[in-house]
Structure 1
Amino acid sequence: MINKWQDIVKQKMRSTGETQETLAEKLDVTQSGVAHWLSGRRKPDTDIIASIMKAVGIKEITINDDGSASENSIQCDRNTNNFYIEVLDVKAGAGDGYLNSDVQEVIKLIEYDNEQAKLLFNGISSNNLKVINISGDSMQGTFESGDAVYVDISRRSFEGDGIYVFTFGRNLYVKRLQIIKDKLIVISDNKAYKEWDIREDEIDQLYIHGKVMLSQSMLLRKHG
């Protein structure tokens, strides 16, 4: 029998006495919504699965080649005086959107000296920062495909013009968002791509995962 992510979550809930009702309260959703997710009748997005795992005390889940799942965690000797950011195995589409898997896997940690981190991240907690990679060229000039972006995941609503990581429909994007009159406009920095808008009747398809704070180029350039 395949051990799915739902099975691991339910096993953890049994061991801790967690119920669907208490989990729903933590996630600020309905009990029936939790029941649908855990039964597999509805497929939550990656951010919801991560929230479920965090709420029940699971560090992360690895999905194996045979479809089975196992709980695991990154093992490393951490210097308590340093600042660590998780790099997720997730790509955000700077183009037509990149469809990701259902589970966010932490593939490595980036370590900073605490003083350096204060200067770079303006006091943001390491728990609220994640690193993901860019796929596509629609943000060319600002990001290149393969660049890493540092995302403040505490900013999960529109907070003025800026670059956001967001899901619309089933696709994950990194784009500029700007409000013009009563429309939310999605803007690509590469002018070869047309801007598009999210109408009021489509806003329920939008989920903002965070706001981009910094980026790091991954390009290799040959010189001579």
Structure 2
Amino acid sequence: MDLFLRSWAALRTAVAELADEDLARPSGCTGWLVRDLVCHLVVDAQDVLITLVTPTDAAVTRNAATYWEVAGESPSGDDPLDALTVRLAAAYGESWLLKFHLDDVGSAAGRAAELADPALRVSTRDVVLTAGDYLHAYVMEWTLHHLDLVAHLPKAPRPPADALAGARALLEEIAGAAFPTSWADEDALLVGTGRRTATPEEGAALAEAGLRVPLVLG
């Protein structure tokens, strides 16, 4: 729960500190500008709010790792929902409106997470998991999207070290194997999810570790 709150607060702070021109730069998400990614984060925050107020008595079917489904290939940016996000982002017109909306809805999502009972069972995407596992799964979402946000903004603040470590540990659980211990957490996440192509040396290390990447999470 604490890691969710810290990673989410760090991501929202990074967005709040962006200059207007930064929102028009490319992000680390294929086909999306930074403003499109910020719009996606607004939708994510809404999803968190909806899920945390959707309790269920049904049996738990997923945990933080199995919440994520691994796709066969990286997104092309042509998905209809991706295109809708681009149109929604453009509809804001003024960049401050988009940033304000994220701050407004994002703060509410953070507060809802802070008040949530970790043992509460919630339903989302036709699966059931505890609120604690759901929020832990979102540490991956916030951390990867924080890396996407700053992919072409070298002066922007990076994700917190504990969020990077937590997301790496969860990715290793999903993969069923550990990345080389010599790798930085950020490199493990970028290469592991296909956000950066592995060097020949990294590829050899992955093969030795029995890791097949990219792990495209959805």
TM-score scaled by structure 2?
0.26
Identify which of structures 1 and 2 has the higher relative contact order when contacts are C-alpha pairs closer than 8 Å and 6+ apart.
2
TM-score scaled by structure 1?
0.25
Q: Higher Cα Rg: structure 1 or 2? A: 1
Q: Which has the higher helix share?
A: 2
Q: Which has the higher strand share?
A: 1
